[in-house]
Amino acid sequence: MKKKQSIITLVVIFVLTVLLGYTVAVGWGATGVGAMKNIRTGLDLSGGVSITYEASEANPSAEDMTDTIGKLQKRVEQYSNEALVYQQGDNRISIEIPGASDANTILEELGKPGSLTFQDASGNVVLEGTDIADAQGVAQQNSTTGQNQYVVNLTLNDSGKDKFAEATAANIGKPISIIYDGNTISSPTVNSTISDGKCEITGMSSIDAAKELASTIRIGSLSLELNELYSNVVAAQLGQDALSSSVVAGMIGILLVIIFLICVYRIPGVAAGWALIIYTGLMLGALNAFDLTLTLPGIAGIILSIGMAVDANVIIYARIREEITAGKSIKNAIAAGFQKAFSAILDGNVTTLIAAAILYALGSGSIRGFAMTLALGIVLSMFTALVISRLLINALFAAGCKAEKLYGRQKERKLIDFVGKKKFFFIFSFVLILSLPAGLILHQVKDGQALNYSLEFIGGTSTTVAFSEDYSMSKLDSDVQPVVQGVTGDANIMFQKVVDSDSVIIKTRELSVEERQSLDTALIEKFGVTQEDITAENISATMSDEMTRDAVFAVTISVIFMLVYIWLRFKDIRFASSAIIALIHDIIIVIAFYAWFRFSAGSSFIAVLLTILGYSINGTIVIFDRIRENLPSMKKEDLSVVVNTSITQTLTRSIYSSLTTFATIFVLYLMGVPSVKEFSLPIIIGIVTGTYTSVCLTGSMWYVFKKKLGKKKVPEKIVASKNKTKK
- What is the predicted pLDDT for the residue at 722? 40
At residue 597, does pLDDT exceed 60? yes
- What is the predicted pLDDT for the residue at 25? 60
Identify the CA nearest to 663 among candidates 102, 219, 137, 250: 250
At residue 146, does pLDDT exceed 90? no
Residues 99 and 96: their CA atoms lie apart, in Å, by 10
Regarding whether 622 and 530 lie in a shared domain, the answer is: no
Regarding whether 673 and 550 lie in a shared domain, the answer is: yes
**Bigger pLDDT: 549 or 189?**
189
Strands 92-98 and 183-186: unpaired
Q: What percent of the chain has pLDDT over 70?
A: 89
Q: What is the CATH classification number for the domain harbouring 88?
A: 3.30.70.3400
Lowest model confidence (mean pLDDT) among 346-350, 431-435, 589-593? 346-350
Q: Is residue 697 assigned to a domain?
A: yes
Q: What is the CATH classification number for the domain harbouring 214?
A: 3.30.1360.200
Q: Is residue 350 assigned to a domain?
A: no
Q: Is residue 442 assigned to a domain?
A: no
The CA–CA distances, whole Å, from 315 to 343, 385, 386, 545, 654 equal 11, 10, 11, 41, 9
- Asked if residue 110 lies in contact with residue 71, where contact means CB atoms within 8 angstroms, the answer is no
Picking from 188, 221, 254, the residue at the C-terminal end of a domain is: 221
Regarding whether 517 and 626 lie in a shared domain, the answer is: no
Q: In DSSP terms, which residues pair with 175 in a beta bridge?
A: 189
Q: Is residue 620 assigned to a domain?
A: yes
- What is the predicted pLDDT for the residue at 240? 55
**Strand ranges in 181-287 using DSSP code E only, listed in sequence order:** 183-186, 198-204, 226-234
Q: Is residue 407 assigned to a domain?
A: no
Mean pLDDT of 667-692: 84
- What is the predicted pLDDT for the residue at 262? 93
- Asked if residue 611 lies in contact with residue 683, where contact means CB atoms within 8 angstroms, the answer is yes
**Bigger pLDDT: 36 or 651?**
651
- What is the predicted pLDDT for the residue at 715? 44
**Bigger pLDDT: 547 or 568?**
568
At residue 633, does pLDDT exceed 50? yes
Q: What confidence tens digit (pLDDT) does each residue in 222-263 have?
A: 778 888 887 777 766 665 566 677 778 878 888 888 999 999
Q: Is residue 343 assigned to a domain?
A: no
Q: Is residue 128 assigned to a domain?
A: yes
The number of folded domains in the chain is 4
- What is the predicted pLDDT for the residue at 342? 92
- What is the predicted pLDDT for the residue at 521? 93
Q: Is residue 401 assigned to a domain?
A: no
Regarding whether 637 and 572 lie in a shared domain, the answer is: yes
User: Side by side, which strands form the sheet with 125-128?
Assistant: 125-128, 116-119, 177-180, 183-186
Regarding whether 635 and 492 lie in a shared domain, the answer is: no
- What is the predicted pLDDT for the residue at 107? 75
Q: What confidence tens digit (pLDDT) does each residue in 180-214 have?
A: 878 898 999 999 999 899 998 988 888 888 888 88
Q: What is the CATH classification number for the domain harbouring 430?
A: 1.20.1640.10
The CA–CA distances, whole Å, from 624 to 263, 351, 643 equal 28, 13, 9
**Bigger pLDDT: 266 or 614?**
266
Regarding whether 509 and 567 lie in a shared domain, the answer is: no
Name the amino acid, one letter, at 597: F
Mean pLDDT of 498-503: 83
Regarding whether 638 and 677 lie in a shared domain, the answer is: yes
Picking from 187, 221, 255, the residue at the C-terminal end of a domain is: 221
Regarding whether 714 and 628 lie in a shared domain, the answer is: yes
Regarding whether 125 and 108 lie in a shared domain, the answer is: no
- Asked if residue 225 lies in contact with residue 65, where contact means CB atoms within 8 angstroms, the answer is no
* CA atoms lying within 13 Å on the CB side of residue 301: 33
At residue 332, does pLDDT exceed 90? yes
Regarding whether 637 and 553 lie in a shared domain, the answer is: yes
Regarding whether 160 and 90 lie in a shared domain, the answer is: no
Lowest model confidence (mean pLDDT) among 54-58, 366-370, 453-457? 366-370
Domain that holds residue 513: 460-539
Picking from 539, 571, 587, the residue at the C-terminal end of a domain is: 539
Please provide the average confidence, as pLDDT, over all residues in the chain. 84
- What is the predicted pLDDT for the residue at 31? 39
Mean pLDDT of 170-177: 92
CA angle, 379 then 408 then 397, to 5°: 65
Regarding whether 200 and 60 lie in a shared domain, the answer is: no
Mean pLDDT of 408-428: 91
At residue 585, does pLDDT exceed 80? yes
Q: What is the CATH classification number for the domain harbouring 533?
A: 3.30.70
